[in-house]
Amino acid sequence: MMNDLSLVSDDPVSLLKREKFLRIEGLGKSYIKDKPVFANVSFTLDRGEFVCIIGHSGCGKTTILNVLAGLDHASDGLVFMDQREVAGPSLERGVVFQGHALMPWLTVRQNIAFAVTSRWPQWSKSEVTKQVEKYVAMVGLSPAIDKKPSQLSGGMKQRVGIARAFAIQPKMLLLDEPFGALDALTRGTIQDELMGIVRATQQTVFMITHDVDEAILLADRILLMTNGTETEQGYVPGGIGESVINTLPKSRTRAELHHLDGYYEVRNHIVDFLIKRAKPGAAH
């Protein structure tokens, strides 16, 4: 553990004592009896907070995101958002996956309008158009608004997915490695764009990533997950090993990130955790 104790908070009980926008209490998921992938996962998010979760494959981070989205059910535990239990999918939670999931027969405008109309079925056509054009402009795609996905690059498609998620003005945005399939240059550009949009909208975000620098750039807090593993004392399920508070300036950009005081301290701590404490490959 780092000497700077202000950087790390790994006591989920004390976190839950404060009133939070999102509360995850005692979450667990089992596919094999007596060998849960993870257990006793408890953490919180403030309204407007950006939290990333990092862990090796098999630790259960995507399962956690799917439970938050209402797309999967935990074996144990509860999830509350804005004082209400999460029990299924809802347009109050926008989701962006690694694949853009656009409908190929619809244009950019139509893809986003479909989501907006689902969110506000009572809106007039002009209201829907205004909302769509606002968020297409926000991701810099106004010139491509009437193109179909087949006419767009991978990065442009993912921008459309992000615009669609923001356009329904969800209470929380869930991102499952949304930039994982993009080349490094495109990925970096969209990271900066996403950060700008989140700052402008004060959106609450929960994001999965394998990229340590991406987490440090975007997140206010980074949750580090352990994998389930067999030990001499028996099977130990995975869980949240630490919650690392990002102390770097909120005005940080990708280009200057590695020049900031404290960057290497945070990065080295996370990498050290992943190498020495996460126990990769033990869970399936």
Q: Does residue 237 lie in a domain region?
A: yes
Q: Are residues 71 and 117 in the same domain?
A: no
Residues 256 and 180 in one domain: yes
177 with 257, same domain: the answer is yes
Axis-axis angle for helices 125-138, 154-167 (nearest 10): 130
Domain span at 134:
106-169
Same domain, 128 and 203: no
State whether 249 and 176 are in the same domain: yes
Share of the chain above pLDDT 90, in %: 63
pLDDT on residue 180 = 79
Tell me the average pLDDT of the chain: 88
Domain harbouring 225, CATH code = 3.40.50.300
Domain end position, chosen among 152, 169, 186: 169
Q: How far apart are CA 252 and CA 215, in angstroms?
A: 12
Q: Do residues 190 and 251 share a domain? A: yes
Q: Domain count of the chain?
A: 2
Q: Is the torsion defined by CA of 265, 5, 215, 77 positive or negative? A: positive
Helices marked H in 85-225 — which ranges? 108-119, 125-138, 154-167, 184-201, 212-218
The band of 11, judged by pLDDT with boundaries at 50, 70 and 90, is low
pTM score: 0.86
Across the range 188-206, mean pLDDT stands at 88
In this structure, the answer to whether residues 25 and 156 fall within a common structural domain is no
Evaluate whether residue 110 is within a structural domain.
yes
Contacts of 179 (CB under 8 A, 6+ apart): 158, 186, 187, 190, 191, 211, 214
Does residue 99 lie in a domain region? no
The answer to whether residue 283 sits within a structural domain is no
- Dihedral angle, C-alpha 121, 166, 240, 252, nearest 10 °: -170
Residue at 98 is within a domain: no
Q: Using the 3D structure, point to which of 134, 152, 169 is the last residue of a domain.
A: 169
* pLDDT tens column, 178-191: 887 778 888 888 88
Distances (CA, A) of 165 to 76, 115, 121, 173: 28, 8, 16, 7
Residues 58 and 181 in one domain: yes
Do 14 and 149 reside in the same domain of the chain? no
Same domain, 220 and 184: yes
55-64, 111-120, 146-155, 250-259: which has the minimum mean pLDDT?
Answer: 250-259
CB atoms within 10 A of CB 260: 15
282 domain-assigned = no
- The reply to whether 59 and 178 lie within a common domain is yes
Identify whether 100 is part of a domain: no
Question: pLDDT by residue (tens digit) across 214-248?
Answer: 999 999 999 999 998 888 888 899 999 999 999 99
- CA–CA separation, 248 and 230 (whole Å): 37
Structural domain includes residue 224: yes
Residue ending a domain, among 132, 147, 169, is: 169
Tokens 């550009």, residue located? 189
- Predicted local distance difference test score (pLDDT) of residue 150: 94
Q: Does 132 lie in the same domain as 18?
A: no
